[in-house]
Amino acid sequence: MTTGQPARRPKTRGVVLDLIRAARTISRIELATNSGLTPPTITQVVRELIAHGLVVEVGRGASTGGKRRTLLQLNPTARYAVGVLFERNICVIVVVDLAGRLAARTSFLGTALLPPDQALPLVASRVDALLETAGVDRDLVLGVGLASYGPQDRQSGVLLTAQPTDEWFGYPVAPRLSDILGLPVLLDNDAAAAAIGEFWLGTVEPHAAYGCIYMASGIGGSVVTAGQVYRGSSSNSVEIGHITIDINGDECHCGNFGCLENYAGPPAVIKQAMRTAGLGRRLGLDPNDVDVMTHFGRIATAASAGDPTATDLIVRSARHLGTGAVTMMSLFDLDLIVLAGPSFAAAGAIYQSVIREETHRRAFARRAHPLRVIASTSGADAAAIGGAVLVLRSELAFLELNGAEPPQPPEDAKDDHLSRRARAALTTKRVSRPTATGGG
Ligand SMILES: [Zn+2]
């Protein structure tokens, strides 16, 4: 790229914006060094970002021999993104600013067995209410990152599972939510979003090769290398909840047999508890209640408080998850696994200790490098925050910088994907607020 050419590629801008975000304040020359881009390209990109109010100059840094360098910072209130963790037993909604800082948060007890045409308006109304309460101008909202379970068609924003009810299979969740909200909506896997959220929140160091085991009602997984989620062919990757741990096991709802989720997941643990003398009654468990996470939480809380029967059940679940963790580590040569998601909240210490023990004993590369298992610092919020971050890092942040030109296809289509419907929603938004970015 040369000086004369406008830096039109969203990816270049994304790299620059990410570096400024991570550094908080940084000079142009440091941006060039850290990004590997040429100083003229940096100058060009920074000029565009400043012209559109996304970046501001904030004084000068200390002299390093020559003249003191002008420092750059993101203008945090220039744009916002919404993240939604969406599942039947819990919904978490967050608003983050351009710098990735949490501006507002709310949560509610999921949408249970509601059909999509009732559940999505409910979620939308909560998003509207949160933006209103936070005093965030909707015109400054880039879009919504919807983190949910799979399998899913991330490109078209469609769930490919009949969970929790048949109506959800093939339902265009992201386009429909986008229609209701009038905002672009990007669908992503909850475990992938959680892994990005952890990275964003600083739990893991840049360039770490790490995995995330995500447990809510079900169990998911994801792998991140150098800040990028491993996507596979269709973003339905690292589904460790659906690896076989018993080849003679029962058929799973996914179609496979003997899946890990059916031994270690919250509904499985509740079933085991019901077969354990007295425990179900003592903890008030109801295996038919749709709210599996509340019932699972009672078992996990009892285990954390030292109840030996509940502890046995949680340890058994953790040993099975340990098998999943060992598999992930051995397949991807990971040195870190983060345990994230609301179902690790109550008995996280037990899970962490047992899974660590299993990986230290069994992972293939255990003598080659240290292996760590840590608990998420953001718990239930990681997936929602990651969803919002995926929006900040998508081309949504840069479409307006392209002026009248049609949006460029993302260079990394797997990480910056934007559905046609999302583009259409953004176009509508831009027409309605032509002066929002200074006429860019
Ligand atoms: Zn399965």
Q: Is residue 440 part of a domain?
A: no
Predicted pLDDT at 415: 41
Model pLDDT, residue 437: 29
219 C-alpha vs ligand 1 centroid, how far in Å?
10
- Domain assignment present for 439: no
Span of 69-73, 149-153, 201-205 with lowest mean pLDDT: 201-205
Check whether residue 213 and residue 313 sit in a common domain.
yes
Together in a domain, 226 and 293: yes
- For residues 256 and 322, state if they share a domain: yes
Query: pLDDT at position 403, please?
Result: 52
Whether residue 262 is found in the same domain as residue 391: no
Residue 405 has pLDDT above 80, yes or no: no
Q: How far is the CA of 193 from the centre of ligand 1 (A)?
A: 21
Give distance in angstroms: CA of 220 to centre of ligand 1: 11
- Per-residue pLDDT tens over the stretch 346-355: 999 999 999 9
Together in a domain, 414 and 347: no
Q: Do 232 and 354 belong together in one domain?
A: yes
| Closest listed residue to residue 8, CA positions, set 427, 393, 426, 410 | 410
Same domain, residue pair 100 and 184? yes
Q: Has residue 81 got a pLDDT over 70?
A: yes
Asked if the model's pLDDT at residue 105 lies above 60, the reply is yes
Q: What is the layout of strands, in order, in the sheet containing 26-27?
A: 26-27, 70-74, 55-60
Mean pLDDT of 97-105: 93
Residue 366 confidence (pLDDT) above 80: yes
Tell whether 437 is covered by a domain: no
Domain holding 153, by residue range, is 79-194+383-432
State in Å: Cα 83 to ligand 1 middle: 27
Tokens 């965030």 found at: 136
pLDDT in tens, 384-394: 999 999 999 88
| Residues in CB range of 178: below 8 A, 6 or more apart | 144, 157, 184, 185, 421, 422, 425
pLDDT(53) > 50? yes
Pairing of strands 210-215, 219-225: antiparallel
**pLDDT of 202:** 76
Q: Are 33 and 90 in a shared domain?
A: no
**Which of 74, 105, 124 is the last residue before a domain boundary?**
74
Question: Cα angle at 105 between 120 and 126, to 5 degrees?
Answer: 25
130 CA distance to ligand 1 centroid (A)? Answer: 35
Q: Given pLDDT bands bounded at 50, 70 and 90, which one contains residue 75?
A: very high
CATH classification at residue 15? 1.10.10.10
State the pLDDT at residue 68.
Answer: 80
Tell me whether residue 270 is in a domain: yes
pTM for the model: 0.85
130 occurs within a structural domain? yes
pLDDT tens digits for 171-209? 999 999 999 999 999 999 999 999 988 887 777 887 789
Are 89 and 124 part of one and the same domain? Answer: yes
- For residues 319 and 333, membership in a common domain is answered with yes
Residue ending a domain, choose from 328, 355, 376: 376
The number of domains in the chain is: 3
- Indicate the range of 146-150, 166-170, 346-350, 394-398 predicted with least confidence: 394-398
Residue of 425 and 341 predicted with greater confidence: 341
Q: Looking at residue 7, what is its pLDDT?
A: 44
Residue 366 backbone dihedrals phi, psi, to 5 degrees: -60, -25
Confidence at residue 294, expressed as pLDDT on a 0 to 100 scale: 92
Kindly give the distance from the C-alpha atom of residue 73 to the centroid of ligand 1, in angstroms, as a whole number.
Answer: 46
Residue 84 located in a structural domain: yes
Q: Is residue 70 part of a domain?
A: yes
Confidence band (pLDDT; 50, 70, 90) for 428? very low
243 and 368 both lie in a single domain: yes
- Boundary (domain end) residue, out of 22, 46, 74: 74
CATH number of the domain at 388, please. 3.30.420.40
291 shares a domain with 272: yes
- Per-residue model confidence as pLDDT tens digits over 4-50: 444 456 678 888 988 898 888 999 999 999 999 999 999 999 999 99
From ligand 1's centre to the CA of 203, what distance in Å?
29
pLDDT tens digits along 246-273: 999 999 999 999 999 999 999 999 999 9
Q: What spacing in Å lies between the alpha carbon of 180 and ligand 1's midpoint? A: 32
pLDDT digits (tens, 9 = 90+) for 318-329: 999 999 999 999
138 within a domain of the structure (yes/no): yes
